[in-house]
Amino acid sequence: MTDRRLVCWGKMLLRRIPLDNRQVGSQFARCLTTLDLISLGVGATLGAGVYVLCGEVAKEKAGPAIALCFLIAAVSSILAGLCYAEFGARVPRAGSAYVYCYVTVGEIWAFIVGWVLILSYIIATASVARAWSLTFDNLVGLAISQWIKNYIPINLSGTMFSEYPDILAVLLIVLVTALLSFGVSESALMGKIFTGINVTVLGFVFVAGLVKGDRANWSLTLDDYINATNFTDPELIEKGFGLGGFAPFGIRGILSGAATCFYAFVGFDCIAASAEEALNPRQSIPISIVASLLCCFVAYSGVSTALTLMMPYYLLDTQTPLPKAFDFVDLAHGRYVVAVGSLCALSTSLLGCMLPLPRVIHAMASDGLIFSFLSQICEKTKTPLLATVISGVVAAPMALLFDLDVLVDLMSIGTLLAYTVVALCVLVLRYQPSIPDDGLKTRTLAEAGSDQKIHREGKEPVKELVEAFTPMRLLRPKTEIPTNLSGSIAYGTTAVLLGLVLILCSVLGICWNELVLGQYSVVANCAILTLLSLLCLLIIWRQPQTVEVYSFKVPLVPVLPLISIFLNVALMMQLNSWIPLAVWIAVGFAIYFTYGIRNSSAKFGGVGTSKPLSTEEMQRQEESQAEKHRKPP
């Protein structure tokens, strides 16, 4: 009896939303075009990083080779973006990585991903609001912060609390919450305006760098550094200057800079979270994800190129690099243009952080995993009004009181976890048997024998494939289409592969110096783990893939998803905020095991609270919404 209960319990934790040829009728207003989504993705991704991160990475890690850092980071992000794009084409539901996980690997993993995403979005919202407040405060000569410090100081040094309550950041969050509550089309319009201003400012920076820059700054020597700084201490010279030239800190500096630059591309998942508000999600989501990442790469590379041409990399300011660079080339008025662009970038970034948050909450509440009242949609604005308000209520106190620098790692872990899970889901789902249209059923049984039986259900004959597992089946499949057995092999091998990648990345993170020095035991362990991972990759590659046609598919499966998984896990291993994350997940488990597991819609075979539509009905609904959007009011 106990074994049976454990089996039932395990099945409850791993139950999944059925992924078939039916989609969920949207309760949201479908009003976002492909241009709207691209603008949203660019705005969310091209935030404060382009005005701050370039100076920090160029000065401390990469020098003029920072453009290569952004190239490596962009490739890594595009790999994750391709995985998001495939799911956006296959599962056009709000909820982003949470929904993708739910349809692929099961309920408990979906809950963990969704719950961690909620935390990362909250921290991101509060962090960007404080950055906006600080930028504006600098424009007015720190008058706002000084007044608050004089009259409402906190004075709790050594804690997570900031020096003063950031009232301006709270007001900004309230304003954006109100804007999102009115409707996504209004928010998208505002985002396009601010993104347009931001891109124009970045274009101005690039042109100024080409006109006023000096190519000699890409081939600096030790004498240039000594003459400019008067440093003679060898340690200070090595730390501040490296070896000079285009890549002064070598290949390791470029890789370290790329790891930092990776976080500059975080934000495109807000496109996937808006799937139910897109006019044509199957086409526009893949296009907008890839296009927004490419646009951001061009912008980051252009600004970093201009910055290192305008000013020697070792003289860059890590906090305000662009204004100082304009002062260096005698264009002091350019700092005001940069300030306007920075505020616009932070505004769109804040919008991109807050937009997905209530939609993830709405998706989880619709599926019954958290409190169902959070799934309510306002009939007038077609937005998750209550979830939006609660998002602002939770984020505002964090922006008001906390020094969020100590919590930024939590945001990074949540994002990297989502990227890893989506890549895993692509790897698993691509090898699962397809569920046919209504009226046709195909079943595959892993039993002894290999005979085929033909049944007639509906109008078409359907083959029922019956096969047994043998060790040779791992590398020599008997069919060219996925079956339950091949899907189970791919699922299990992917789980083993993930474990091997986790161990390998842990060894690389802990024993990197020993590996570089060629210590035998470390090299041997890494070689064994790599060979086992390649064997798992070979087994997955030999399984038949789905033959269904979608508007977008990740190329070179399973290689590209595996590379994405490895890069994301390797970056996660460099972060340290695992204890606060464990506390947050424990709070989530308390909600799930007392409420969600009993009220999950998957328990009753449902998908959220929406009525399921057939593929044809879904297409007609999208075409109707698109037609209404094109017609003048």
Structure tokens given for 437: 């249209």
CA separation (Å) from 557 to 12, 184, 189, 395, 501? Answer: 30, 35, 37, 39, 17
Residues 6+ apart with CB under 8 A from 468: 446, 447, 448, 449, 450
Query: Residue 61 in contact with residue 68, Cβ under 8 Å?
Result: no
E-only strand ranges, 37-88: none
d(CA 374, CA 318): 42
CB contact set of 4 (below 8 Å; sequence gap of 6+): none
Beta pairing partners, 463: 454
Q: Residue 20: pLDDT above 60?
A: no
pTM for the full predicted model? 0.80
**At residue 608, does pLDDT exceed 80?**
no
- DSSP annotation of 434 reads P
Using the predicted structure, report yes or no on whether residue 448 has a pLDDT greater than 50: no
Between residues 26 and 414, the one the model is more confident about: 414
> What backbone phi and psi angles, to 5 degrees, belong to 612?
-70, 140
132-161 burial, b for 16+ CB within 10 Å, e for fewer? bbbbbbbbeeeebbeebeeeeeeeeeeeee
pLDDT, residue 92, reads 74
Cβ–Cβ < 8 Å for 362, 94: yes
Give me the chain's average pLDDT, please. Answer: 80
Identity of the highest mean pLDDT range in 41-45, 288-292, 508-512, 530-534: 530-534
> Given the DSSP bridges, would you call strands 444-446 and 460-467 parallel, antiparallel or unpaired?
parallel
278 DSSP β-pair partners: 32
The Cα–Cα gap between 610 and 375 comes to 11
Contact 568, 423 (CB under 8 A): yes
Burial (CB < 10 A; 0-12, 13-18, 19+), residue 421, is buried
Strands (DSSP E) contained in 296-447 are 444-446
Domains of the chain and any CATH numbers:
32-429 (1.20.1740.10)
- pLDDT at 447 exceeding the cut of 60: no
The burial class, CB within 10 Å (0-12 / 13-18 / 19+), for 167 is middle
Task: Quickly count: other Cβ atoms within 10 Å of residue 507's Cβ.
Answer: 17
Tokens of 187: 């928010």
CB atoms within 10 A of CB 610: 17
What is the token pair recorded at 582? 């464990």
Q: Which of 26-40, 211-225, 462-476 has the highest mean pLDDT?
A: 211-225
Question: pLDDT (tens digit, 9 = 90+) per residue, 457-491?
Answer: 344 444 445 567 778 888 888 778 888 888 889 88
The residue behind tokens 């698993």 is: 428
pLDDT at 262: 77
List, for residues 58-71, the tens digit of each pLDDT value.
888 888 999 898 88
Residue 538 pLDDT:
93
Cα distance between residue 208 and residue 202, in whole Å: 10
More confident call, 371 vs 22? 371
487, 433 Cβ separation under 8 angstroms:
yes
Q: Looking at the chain, how many residues does it have?
A: 633
CA proximity to 12, closest of 579, 524, 598, 482 = 598
Mean local confidence (pLDDT), 253-270: 81
Reduced to 3 states, what is the DSSP secondary structure of residue 265?
A: helix
Using pLDDT thresholds of 50, 70 and 90, give the confidence band for residue 540: very high
Cα 607 from Cα 165, distance rounded (Å): 43
Q: Is the peptide bond before 558 cis (omega within 30 degrees of 0)?
A: yes
Q: How many angstroms from the chain centroid is the CA of residue 587?
A: 23
Nearest-angstrom CA–CA distance, 554 and 289: 13
Q: What is the largest CA-CA distance in the chain?
A: 87
Distances (CA, A) of 187 to 36, 96, 111, 138, 451: 10, 19, 28, 27, 58
pLDDT at 453: 37
Across 355-383, average pLDDT = 88
